[in-house]
Amino acid sequence: MNKILVPTDFSTEAENALKVAAMLAKKYDAEIYLLHMLEIPLQEIDPVNAHSDIPEAIFFMKLAHQKFEALIDSVYLQGIKVHETVKSDITFNEIKAACYEFDIDLIVMGSHGASGLKEMFIGSNAEKVVRTSEVPVLVIKNEHKSFDINNFVFASDFKKDNKNTYKQAVDFAKAFNATIHLVMVNTPNNFLTTEESTKRINKFIAGNNYEKANINIYNDESVEQGILNFSKSINADLIGISTHGRQGIAHFFNSSISEDLVNHANRPVITFKI
């Protein structure tokens, strides 16, 4: 991991994400790219000259730069190479574009909690980042004095199209020497026996074994509740799930469940693109 993108609106939640990004940057010797989107009405922007001659744009650019300077002077960022970038489009497309432009390896972003990602970056744009990002997205809810991952839940339906995401999760776990708790949630409407579930998981992890991984079959009323309840039962430090492009988080989730899971989990969530 060499480059970490942190979208920021300079809120407390965004700074919580930045503090975690700083810990990861020190661990991986990575650089941080801070991204802020200017809230300038699109009709006021000349598509040819962009916002270079608009007084409002100049004012907000200077204000953003001042806020960047204050952030970059923070003690927790000392010794880390931090880049600042400002875009005039406040949609999630700018975040995706920045990932390509700067060759980003991980996005770390803040969330307001239960009301969730929808409150950040206007409407549901942050939620769309989670759902469509080509790179892993780490969603941070709270301030972390330290970001130590000992127990890492990886929830999946353990179909073969998720194998690459599991490899990414293993690589992340290895960096922390964390235990991965593979969990498959059984629901009344989608039930497999323990034997069938265990066989599916063992087939799924074959060829990518990790000595600190264990298998768990958890029964609950819904997939979302099963993941949340299991994670709570082991006091997990992180929940990992797979994203399936515009079809939502994890192949077995519909979009409403995926949004609820990311929004309702009190612990950090990391998503990996299938």
C-alpha distances in Å from residue 163, one per residue of 201, 203, 241, 246: 11, 10, 12, 19
What pLDDT score does 97 carry? 82
What pLDDT score does 68 carry? 77
Q: What is the pTM of this model?
A: 0.83
Determine how β-strand 82-87 pairs with β-strand 31-37: parallel
List of domains in the chain: 3-140 (3.40.50.620), 151-273 (3.40.50.620)
Q: Please tell me which residue, 132 or 72, carries the higher pLDDT value.
A: 72
Q: Does position 177 have pLDDT exceeding 90, yes or no? A: yes
Per-residue pLDDT reduced to its tens digit, 54-71: 666 666 667 767 777 777
Measured CA to CA, the distance from residue 250 to residue 240 in angstroms comes to 10
Cβ atoms 120, 10 nearer than 8 A: no
pLDDT over 90, % of the chain: 34
Residue type, 108: V
Per-residue pLDDT reduced to its tens digit, 89-139: 555 677 888 898 999 999 998 876 544 444 433 334 456 677 778 889 998
Residue type, 152: F
Q: Please tell me which residue, 63 or 232, carries the higher pLDDT value.
A: 232
Strand partners, 34: 6, 84
Residue 113 tokens read as: 């909690």
C-alpha distances in Å from residue 190, one per residue of 209, 221, 261: 27, 10, 18
Measured CA to CA, the distance from residue 223 to residue 229 in angstroms comes to 10
Average pLDDT, the chain: 79
Measured CA to CA, the distance from residue 23 to residue 26 in angstroms comes to 5
SS (H, E, C) 82-118: EEEEEECCCCHHHHHHHHHHHCCCEEEEECCCCCCHH
Please compute, for residue 101, the number of CA atoms within 13 A of its CA located in the half-sphere on the CB side: 12
Per-residue pLDDT reduced to its tens digit, 234-259: 999 999 988 765 544 444 444 445 55
Cβ atoms 149, 176 nearer than 8 A: yes
Q: Please tell me which residue, 185 or 120, carries the higher pLDDT value.
A: 185
Cβ atoms 4, 108 nearer than 8 A: yes
- 141-170 mean pLDDT: 87
Residue 161 tokens read as: 């199209």
Q: Does position 28 have pLDDT exceeding 60, yes or no? A: yes
